[in-house]
Structure 1
């Protein structure tokens, strides 16, 4: 009855071979005479014309152990070896050796796992286990005390590389009672008699103790309803009512932020759900709170005859359709309004791996099933025999190919221009720990990892950084930067992984966190003049920022106040000048008006809940912007009405890959600007043309007719040819430094020649500091940086100061200075909102990601209404009846206007035209068309392979507000057929994203993203090139609400706290490796949402059953939530390369 061969529907074959009952080499005779011990299991890929998927085989050997009683011995797995099988060749990949306690005289330990050693390429990582009986003082019960010690392959007496972990499990029911790590941080659990969690406590019996408690009630009388409650660390209780099938039907939460809150007050309703007689969820209502007012947002769900969800009718009335044909394996998606198609349709054809073979888009009104129906675009995918993406062809026919190793890690990417990107990985591990990356054979960077998978060194362009750790800790205690300067860090493990102190050369930053929920409460830093700068924050119970105080110890602090709805819609904001900006929403939770002083803006929406018009009024000034979209959600027309009959139109055209190819600005019949764009195979802008009376000028004052761009394989700009009336200017860029992405010089060439022209020096050489920061720019200005690579000064070649910059402890650009005085900068949700310079100030009015107006107070007060394009680049400033028109080169150069905002809505530095992106993270030089400092997320992470390149060479289709990674202009999932409207306001009842309650929001994909990838390497590295290794979740397919997403033990794990745009890791923050452990935030955050049971894990296996599983089956069991019987723990979360992942923590969240 043992399974021998299984041929899966996708063609993958699994073959099992079993040891004979009488025994063979590698396995003694079975004690009971059964054939049941797996000898080898082979996984053979399906036939495929693409890729080279390996055949993998897992081999097992067994040893005998005596039983506790005088009976037969029993068998235990001794070795497990993973082999890669190729014709005539076998390659050993990993070998795991197991050892067990063998002492029948000690029944408690006998037979338990004592050791496992994993050998990979000759490097052995050992895990030691020890057990003892103990008594748990907290509950006074006997426990199994397990100590686990991981010893890295590079462990030594002088440099220990090991980590200890302690577990305590109840001897009564096997439930975990205590989890303690190397930092002595404990998580304790308490249960009721039915083994339900009643309390979780972090850092018990310390000053940092934080607990979350739960209660449960069943029915014992008529009229009662089963319910459970969750009380968070701040004492706020959420109650969930359940029906007879244990499904959430209602939820209420205490309104802890209400004035005069009393814990005995009746909780307020937050969620309701109804089901039909087929046990299908048919409606969800999320109740938002605007002060005392309830705002219900209801979504309806519909199903097909197969019981699959086919439609969600959102709270705004838009119908999201997703129809699955299980026979032809296609999924068709589109939007409807009142039963009529409102968008084009997207058809995804899936293969037997349940992954898309093709994704086609059709224009509105075209029936994809009709004979002869012509698709607007098609994206193709090809897979190897294990279902990994081997090739993809974008709608323009550009091919990208991928190769993987036996552990599904990407080792090679062949780009559309045939350059190859190669990655190598740590030799001791099968995890995604890249150690080398190269493109076209040129090395871009290397990384080193120790036996605990912690990065100990990284080198980019010859710049080496080193990280040191305390024994067993996952956070570096010091970072030695390429400059030779060391930054030290001090942590409070009980409060998480963020530093409590950062000790740099110039100053020491101190961070204070809430002792219960670990949110950042205060920062202090002493500057070089001895002045202490302080930041203090307060939060609402739902996690949103309530107030923020900033200032120096010797001055009156600047204070900002916020008011949010329960679903994190901003209702009111008071800035540092005491000005109130209010936000008003309609019953669909769409923003319809915002006011600040005399300025107010009103919003209207089209049938798909996208912004249709914005009308801004300030006194007698009026500016109205109207927006139109095409069948695929792309903006195609923007109309500016300046009043008095003056109307301009901005029309846009795209190609099948959603790249902007043509943009025309007109006023009536007058052509102002007609721009065309062309791209190479990798999507980089290579040709720009402009006609009309308002074309942009280059940095030398010449009106541009056309520009040609050339790139190398590393996305370096190699030449720029600018054509203007009467001549041509060519720039040749050189990269001769050790860092192949570092601009070393440029040569200017004019046609016709102009010898001695000071505007065009024949050659400019560039210098860099040891950390890779540019020290001189194209105008001869000198740039200065601190030890954390923050730009702190700009000066003339003569040494005359042109200005300086100051930063707070969070590395946010908080001020600047010049001969005319010091300027303070303030932000709200990551956007610049106030500039204060003595008696002068500027206030920026924004809403829904749109710049609306700028108020200037002081010596020359004025109000400017701002007309911007879809990238928020300010095109027109309207003030006092006058209009100033602006134009930008593709990389953002402009002569500037009267206001502070310019390209992409960012602040333009008046003194030199730079853009300090990411609230000062690093400077974009629009003349050199690149960053002046390298990105900490490059070359291995999401910053892309080139740490200096701006948006990988496509400034037309992407922006980079954080200075870290490019963001597509409009996020459009190819398979949704919907643009920014795809996640419009009001659908919150059927979605977890908070943005759905904030007006016309954005989907999270790119035009080429067919599905999510389990191989993050390509997306991180190449950004514009994607692969499909798993079927992505549909834009419309989510029926699970906030309430239904639950964490461990059925405790809701979705927080109502906002998720602001995060800038990613600060360059001043140590790179940290997220070791698989339970973080404090997982327990401490407020967790509204019905607390329903999590999906059931698989049936628990005994140690013997578990050890019999092969590598793949074992991993599948653990991935489904199964408990490893050898440790009593679920599988640790899959590790990420911690330099690739933006750090989500209090340090980098909620920064206004």
Structure 2
């Protein structure tokens, strides 16, 4: 209970239930002049002779000033930094204009009844309103583009209909108490609401007839809600009407506890894990403890702004503000600063990163972003119409994008360097069609609840969907009319899925909603367990092999233990960037970063790789152990234009206006050129060897023809392709007339591959429930495969040879042994060894004489660093990102 004490009418103190004291000080006239909050910080206000507040000074001494006209209307506000906003009134006390701190003016005009009839913004764009002759009910409004929306009223003055600028009408119906009971949208679909005697909504029915209900207790609190599916959610309240428990349809209960000031003190989830909070005297949350009792602390300044945060590991970040309360700097946990600058209206005009690189912005008179300048000086410019819709973007390289809109503000077209994309909508503003350059046309249809009911691709093939009472997608039919079914539990979680062949997989959840098991289509289980914070701490595959994880105080993965017992340990810096990986065999990888978080070096067992960047954080250099040096340059659109490899070879790249590579010159100076259609699909590739390859496409962007020819000469080869309704390739016809046809099952798995002509063959395939291939048959010759419960190949048997495979607990294949004569004669033996990251390091083939041994090493990124066959010089592999660039011996 709040307690108040007053002394001589000059000082009043309020004590809250926790004993925190707030004090108000008054002048001799009994007017409040200062307030001391519960933390002891004082805000003062200066009053003029009329008792009007002329200035307010906060606890940091920042002063905001106010002026008034003769009748006491506020005419100006000046911020602590001196930014001034002014207001002008007419004789009736109505605002006729406002001027912001940059001098931009907005004006207003009124009718005789004092209603606003027009508004002119800073750019001179006019919005108008029309009212009924007998009242101030607005009957029409017109935006700056001239688009008119109208409102219709019934005899009781209630809105009976609204009509948008395209004439789409939404109608409303009311009961005798004036409560809205029906809404009919522009397509005639009706939603209804039902009320109890106290005017509370007790039932809502959507256009599909699905009803949701709410139950109230005697105090008018919503204690239960029932979804259309029948699932019931309940809420429990305490004597102060605070929600203290919620119970889902499966009886899982979450609870909330409060302190004496009704602030949340603790949450407990259905598993009993608790998060707790504590507050300062002003009600700021200063400490939180997670379910493991790890603490996060927040520090506030005198104005209750977040000043610093300390994570569970003790790392501290801080914020700095200007006199107007805008955040001007952030100091991260390593002491590096990001700074921000603002204009007079408080809009961020520049941000400087930790290296001092600046991105800046300018704005037009109505506050829309006009330009953005990147740290390298490139400027992007934005254009708008009078309705503030973005109509154009112009980039530094001269490329542009333009947009057009209809009267409802929906984008109807987008034109860029590839061509124009158009969009169409129904009366409910749902996207019904999209036509990309090509033209490639897509279409959508919806049910009464505005859920996508069917999608038609550019080839005219349709995918359809159906839903349950609460909107879960329960069935989908592909273009071949094969059905996939999904079953949900009462909490709308996926409980089971049935594929087009009738194979079923299921999911199991704990009371906190976390998936704890998956049963695959063969009945085998994958199980998961979690810690108190809901992080996965272990996953066991279908064979029971378990991978487990631990986490540090701030939730970062600390260790990973594989099924074979090997433990990998991870370390991080103050910014949670991974700085080290330590493997079970003692090998390590370490990483270093600059103040922008860009990786500058990686040290692993093969040596150290370094990286350099430009002001836009584009990679400009990379040096692998050797040293092997690569360099990169870019154009204004950040497209790579040059790559220098470790041998000094130069590769260059040119682009068309759409950003597609148009010319590539390799390190030997050989040119390859590319051409594209309006949909940016590659149509022609011309090689310096004199070969030209041309590709044709259907409306679904599937390759339907490919032709190789000599430049200016004869056709060398030609192929044509057909596809089924879901994009599986059905046939290939080559220039010799040879035809290959393909067949698929309902899951799009290849079941037959048949070719005629000189290389005639027929392959047939069968599969198990989880897509493992069981048999391959070629003209009566059968090869069979057997798998374990986790899908690893155990044996492969053809007419003469049985090959058996073994794996370690981590799932790596360690041996392949081929035998004939009923397993008596060995014909091939291959063994493999892996490192502690499960990468192949040794491959030995004993079927060769002498046995062939090949070894591999890897970088800290997992890329193959070297490859060495026995008796040969090792080959060092050089990578361009994750793409192979060259090998060096």
TM-score, normalising length: structure 2? 0.72
SS at match of 1:322: strand
Post-superposition CA distance 1:3-57 (Å, at most 9, x none): 444445565655444332xxxxxxxxxxxxxx45x14141423xxxxxxx55332
Contact 1:17 1:41 in 2 (8 A): yes
Tell me if 1:774 matches 2:640: yes
Counterpart for residue 4 of structure 2: none
Which structure 1 segments of 5+ residues have no match? 21-34, 46-52, 64-73, 85-90, 103-109, 134-141, 152-160, 221-225, 256-267, 288-294, 337-341, 364-374, 693-703, 751-760, 827-832, 846-852, 868-874, 896-924, 931-1152
User: Which structure shows the bigger proportion of residues in strand conformation?
Assistant: 2
Tell me if 1:393 matches 2:310: yes
Tell me if 1:99 matches 2:88: yes
Post-superposition CA distance 1:743-774 (Å, at most 9, x none): 11111114xxxxxxxxxx71111132321133
Counterpart for residue 1109 of structure 1: none
Q: Which of these two proteins has the greater Rg computed from alpha carbons?
A: 2
Contact 1:614 1:625 in 2 (8 A): yes
Q: 1:131 is matched with which residue: 90, 96, 110?
A: 110
Aligned 1:610-625 pairs, distance under 5 A? 610-617=514-521, 623-625=524-526
CA distance in 1, matches of 2:726, 2:600: 39
CA distance in 2, matches of 1:184, 1:504: 27
Q: Larger relative CO (CA 8 A, sep 6+): 1 or 2?
A: 1
CA deviation after TM superposition for structure 1 residue 566, in Å: 4.3
Contact 1:271 1:286 in 2 (8 A): yes
Aligned 1:494-643 pairs, distance under 5 A? 494-496=407-409, 498-514=410-426, 516-527=427-438, 532-551=439-458, 556-598=459-501, 599-617=503-521, 623-641=524-542
Contact 2:612 2:622 in 1 (8 A): yes
Counterpart for residue 270 of structure 1: 211
Tell me if 1:149 matches 2:120: yes
Q: 2:152 is matched with which residue: 190, 204, 222?
A: 190
CA deviation after TM superposition for structure 1 residue 325, in Å: 1.7
Tell me if 1:42 matches 2:21: no
CA distance in 2, matches of 1:548, 1:822: 27
Aligned 1:255-654 pairs, distance under 5 A? 255=208, 268-287=209-228, 295-326=229-260, 331-336=265-270, 342-363=271-292, 375=293, 377-425=294-342, 427-430=343-346, 433-462=347-376, 464-469=378-383, 472-492=386-406, 494-496=407-409, 498-514=410-426, 516-527=427-438, 532-551=439-458, 556-598=459-501, 599-617=503-521, 623-641=524-542, 646-654=543-551
SS at match of 1:484: coil
Counterpart for residue 902 of structure 1: none
CA deviation after TM superposition for structure 1 residue 270, in Å: 1.8
CA distance in 1, matches of 2:610, 2:511: 50
CA distance in 1, matches of 2:337, 2:408: 44
CA distance in 2, matches of 1:193, 1:12: 56
Contact 1:573 1:582 in 2 (8 A): yes
* CA shift in 2, pair 1:844/1:784, >3 Å: farther
CA distance in 2, matches of 1:12, 1:540: 58
Counterpart for residue 685 of structure 1: 578
Contact 2:372 2:380 in 1 (8 A): yes
CA distance in 1, matches of 2:662, 2:227: 47
* CA shift in 2, pair 1:361/1:466, >3 Å: closer
Contact 1:457 1:464 in 2 (8 A): no
* CA shift in 2, pair 1:588/1:749, >3 Å: closer
Tell me if 1:744 matches 2:685: no
CA distance in 1, matches of 2:726, 2:282: 53
CA deviation after TM superposition for structure 1 residue 505, in Å: 2.1
CA distance in 1, matches of 2:838, 2:721: 24
SS at match of 1:442: coil
Contact 1:533 1:808 in 2 (8 A): no
Contact 1:892 1:926 in 2 (8 A): no
Counterpart for residue 847 of structure 2: none
Q: How many residues align?
A: 715
Post-superposition CA distance 1:137-182 (Å, at most 9, x none): xxxxx9946211122xxxxxxxxx3432223345655343333221
* CA shift in 2, pair 1:17/1:299, >3 Å: same
SS at match of 1:766: strand
CA distance in 1, matches of 2:812, 2:419: 41
Counterpart for residue 56 of structure 1: 63
Contact 1:841 1:857 in 2 (8 A): yes
* CA shift in 2, pair 1:631/1:470, >3 Å: closer
CA deviation after TM superposition for structure 1 residue 858, in Å: 6.0
User: How large is the Cα RMSD of the aligned pairs?
Assistant: 4.3
Post-superposition CA distance 1:330-365 (Å, at most 9, x none): 5111123xxxxx1421101123443311110234xx
CA deviation after TM superposition for structure 1 residue 824, in Å: 12
SS at match of 2:554: coil
Q: 1:114 is matched with which residue: 96, 110, 120?
A: 96
Tell me if 1:717 matches 2:675: no
CA deviation after TM superposition for structure 1 residue 638, in Å: 0.6
* CA shift in 2, pair 1:803/1:745, >3 Å: farther
* CA shift in 2, pair 1:580/1:600, >3 Å: same
* CA shift in 2, pair 1:926/1:398, >3 Å: farther
CA deviation after TM superposition for structure 1 residue 189, in Å: 2.6
Contact 1:823 1:835 in 2 (8 A): no
* CA shift in 2, pair 1:890/1:562, >3 Å: farther
CA distance in 1, matches of 2:837, 2:413: 38
SS at match of 2:183: strand
Contact 1:808 1:814 in 2 (8 A): no
CA distance in 1, matches of 2:720, 2:554: 46
Aligned 1:191-270 pairs, distance under 5 A? 191-203=153-165, 208-218=166-176, 228-255=181-208, 268-270=209-211
* CA shift in 2, pair 1:843/1:476, >3 Å: farther
SS at match of 1:362: coil
Which structure 2 segments of 5+ residues have no match? 1-29, 682-698, 708-718, 732-740, 754-762, 773-788, 796-804, 814-833, 842-877, 884-889
Aligned 1:687-706 pairs, distance under 5 A? 687-691=580-584, 705-706=587-588
Contact 1:100 1:114 in 2 (8 A): yes
SS at match of 1:397: coil
Counterpart for residue 1110 of structure 1: none
Contact 1:162 1:471 in 2 (8 A): no
With 454-463 and 8-17 compared, the bigger mean Cα shift is at 8-17
CA deviation after TM superposition for structure 1 residue 81, in Å: 2.6
* CA shift in 2, pair 1:441/1:778, >3 Å: closer
Counterpart for residue 734 of structure 1: 612
CA deviation after TM superposition for structure 1 residue 890, in Å: 14
CA distance in 2, matches of 1:685, 1:411: 28
Post-superposition CA distance 1:421-446 (Å, at most 9, x none): 11122x2422xx32211123522422
CA deviation after TM superposition for structure 1 residue 390, in Å: 0.5
TM-score, normalising length: structure 1? 0.56
